[in-house]
Structure 1
């Protein structure tokens, strides 16, 4: 474990924890951007799962009352997702670092573009149970393959007339449970050995502290500012990742 490894490890843990505390999702999106520079995808995903679950638990406590109120809505997403997790884990073995970074960058760009265009997109006030189930299942696959379980539900929930607390009451526990199940399956498969446990010991306290900082900012933001900040973070980060990978492909 050299100095370069430690720098990228700490930077990823801090970025992912802060965004998780602020938005209730995004740990993997922001962490893997750093960690894939020094780790193979299988190791990076295994470690980020632990970071995502531990940071997410703090956010779950934050909206615990809203979770109880929206428990049936949450289950529509969660149960189909759990069926998708083993499929995603099976796909993880076929993913390389460059491809995963491009997927992450594309998702960030998609997030940013989606929220910029959101005003012209429809708002679904009626019940959409079938769509909730499909979104949940696909998100379970993404969670197992790359710890990206929050991407699709976030965009889908943004089309509903819910407050940020109502959205978080679905997104935060959904991601925590899906990623905890994924981590458990990987642990059974032997993913957590010395090579993964040592970085976890370093990254975990940094992630937890950064999550608390993100939660502090979350409480200070109004809904509109909260959404604008997410748009900026996602779009700029995604654009830089995709452009960087395109440039590296040409060199």
Structure 2
């Protein structure tokens, strides 16, 4: 297959987004999807991002399975499944513009609060109340616009997970969540041949990108990791608002 300029751009976007996801454990979709939409239709770019998410999550789960907090991941997954239909309802009935705007301001307010030096009270062990709240909100945000990450950051910060445990546990969560999304796209008829061409072309860059992200993650410890995570959340919130005001159409 000849590498056209479009294919090269797609591979570079996937490479950069995968490094980000592997380093922080979340957030690659909001980077990849708007950039992919500059070159391919959204109904191809979004499923492609989810297929990549499944691949990254599967690789990390196999690689770092001993660092996964199984019970935490299971609880977050179960409660997020309740929230996904609520998020989809918001997207359908409230409208994409308002959903993005509201989510953007909520994420900015939350990340700004934490960056100001305010600390979240530590959870010594899993709390069903917090698993429910964070899992439900993650499902709602994921169903509304595919942004599951912010509530998961809250839970990881409260449990004082290391950067390595946070990354591994989130991949266990995203493996199930993304597989559910792929099934939905298959039922909707969105898994078209061209999508798999883009996916197969992108596969060779995934492993080096995952390993680079893992090396970055290994260098981040404790409070510094979550400070960087809060900065990433702030950026995601700003990107959401910008995308709401200047939407990408393809």
TM-score interval, smaller chain: 0.7 to 0.9
> Residue 144 of structure 1 contacts residue 179 of structure 1 at CA under 8 Å; is this kept in 2?
no
1:44–1:221 CA distance, 2 compared to 1 (3 A): same
Could you list the runs of 5+ residues in structure 1 that have no partner in the other structure? none
2:24 aligns with 23
Could you list the runs of 5+ residues in structure 2 that have no partner in the other structure? none
**TM-score, structure 1 as length reference:** 0.77
Aligned length: 247
Q: Distance in 2 between matches of 1:71 and 1:175?
A: 13
- 1:113 maps to 2:112: yes
- 1:140 maps to 2:108: no
> Residue 42 of structure 1 contacts residue 92 of structure 1 at CA under 8 Å; is this kept in 2?
no
Range moving further from structure 2, 45-54 or 196-205: 196-205
2:48 aligns with 47
**TM-score, structure 2 as length reference:** 0.77
1:98–1:43 CA distance, 2 compared to 1 (3 A): farther
1:175 aligns with 174
1:156 aligns with 155
What are the within-5 Å matches in structure 2 for residues 1-251 of structure 1? 5-6=6-7, 8-67=9-68, 70-85=69-84, 88=87, 109=108, 112-117=111-116, 119-125=118-124, 128-236=127-235, 238-239=237-238, 242-243=241-242, 246=245
1:196–1:167 CA distance, 2 compared to 1 (3 A): same
1:96–1:46 CA distance, 2 compared to 1 (3 A): farther
Q: SS where residue 191 of structure 2 aligns?
A: coil
- TM-fit CA distance, 1:118: 5.1
- TM-fit CA distance, 1:228: 3.8
> Residue 88 of structure 1 contacts residue 142 of structure 1 at CA under 8 Å; is this kept in 2?
yes
Q: Deviations over 1:178-229 (max 9, x none)?
A: 1111112221322100232222222333333212211122223333443344
> Residue 104 of structure 2 contacts residue 236 of structure 2 at CA under 8 Å; is this kept in 1?
yes
Query: Over the residues paired in the alignment, what is the CA RMSD in angstroms?
Result: 3.7
Q: SS where residue 118 of structure 2 aligns?
A: helix
